[in-house]
Copies of this chain bind each other. A is one copy, B any other.
């Protein structure tokens, strides 16, 4: 941590304050400003412990607050889902696909049958957080038999399930290989830790307003439970210009930034970030070119009437396009 301070009579009191907290300092005096470097582990310090003091112009961390998920302390790291290894050394990007929500047995089984040749991992959620209480909330417990059937038919395909509440873990456990924390729960630290303790791999989606450091600190909450099986997932941000023609604004620049800052793999969700089926393919290929370790994509059956879907009908692609995406990813 460095403190940028005025070059005047307030400096002595400021240094005394820092020393009283048992930090050594390194003072660098410029023409107009003084830079005070604090030497030692400053992770537990808050900026507010210095910013209100006289003469302080800015308090700035130069080391990140996260440590376990940082690239600096763990240059190489991989996550395992079944026999697949996700990380910088993987043979080709991971394709996670399936219905946004499991709506009916027929819709789910048709979708999984069609995508099985192209998807490495399945998704299709029972619990769906919806903006309105009057919208379909997922089949919840009622749909568990559908997923049991999917697991019976495709025993080799790991299944991702979103979890909204620690009390749902018991129900989900038997049909879930990978838990997902959705963007609405990225700041729900109690849930993050509880899911972390299951020891299963976790996909942590980025909140639509989350800064890079907030996202990595949410991952750090999981990591402090001893579970490093974390995959980050970018799914678009909310901006003053999103919402009209694009559901969110895909923030592809975060992919290389995460790869520099963190050892965790990062995947991209082209479906929720754009909200439009016809943007999925182009965004997927850009994300992979920028180094994404995988994609998570909403799919509906070939020939399905998308206006009949109860969740996110405008953004689902079919296995026809998924095959193209998967082939391109394997190149």
Cβ contact within 8 Å between B220 and A133: yes
**Cβ 8 A contact of A190, one of B30, B164, B246:** B164
A190 closest partner in B (C-beta): B165
- Nearest B residue to A26 via CB reads B28
- Name the segment of A49-57, A88-96, A150-158 touching the other chain: A49-57
Q: Chain B residues with Cβ under 8 A from A282's Cβ?
A: 252, 286, 289-290
Residues of B within 8 A of A48 (CB): 306-307, 309, 312-314
Residues 39-62 of A, flagged 1 when their CB comes within 8 A of B and 0 if not, give: 111011010111111000110101
Cβ-defined partner of A134 (8 Å) among B44, B277, B279, B286: B44
- List, in ascending order, chain B residues with CB within 8 A of A274's CB: 253
What is the chain B residue whose CB lies nearest that of A41?
B31
The answer to whether A185 has its CB under 8 Å from any CB of chain B is yes
Query: Copy number of this protein in the oligomer?
Result: 4
Kindly provide the distance from the CB of A168 to the nearest chain B CB, expressed in whole angstroms: 8
Contact with B along A85-129 (1 / 0, CB 8 A): 000000000000000000000000000000000000000000001
Q: What total of chain A residues lie within 8 Å of the partner, measured CB to CB?
A: 103
Residue numbers in B under 8 Å from A134 (CB-CB): 43-44, 65
A29 interfacial by beta-carbon distance below 8 Å: yes
Residues 210-248 of chain A, each 1 if its beta carbon lies under 8 Å from chain B, else 0: 111110010011001000000000000111111111100
A204 at the interface (CB under 8 A from B): no
Within 8 A of B (CB), among A13-51: 17, 26, 28-33, 35, 37-41, 43-44, 46, 48-51
A63 on the B face (CB < 8 A)? yes
Q: Which 3 A-B pairs have the closest CB atoms?
A: A246-B253, A286-B286, A245-B257
Interface residues in chain A, defined as those with a beta carbon under 8 Å from any beta carbon in chain B: 2, 4, 17, 26, 28-33, 35, 37-41, 43-44, 46, 48-53, 57-58, 60, 62-63, 65-66, 72, 129-135, 164-168, 184-185, 187-191, 207-214, 217, 220-221, 224, 237-246, 249-254, 256-257, 274, 276-279, 281-283, 285-286, 289-290, 306-314
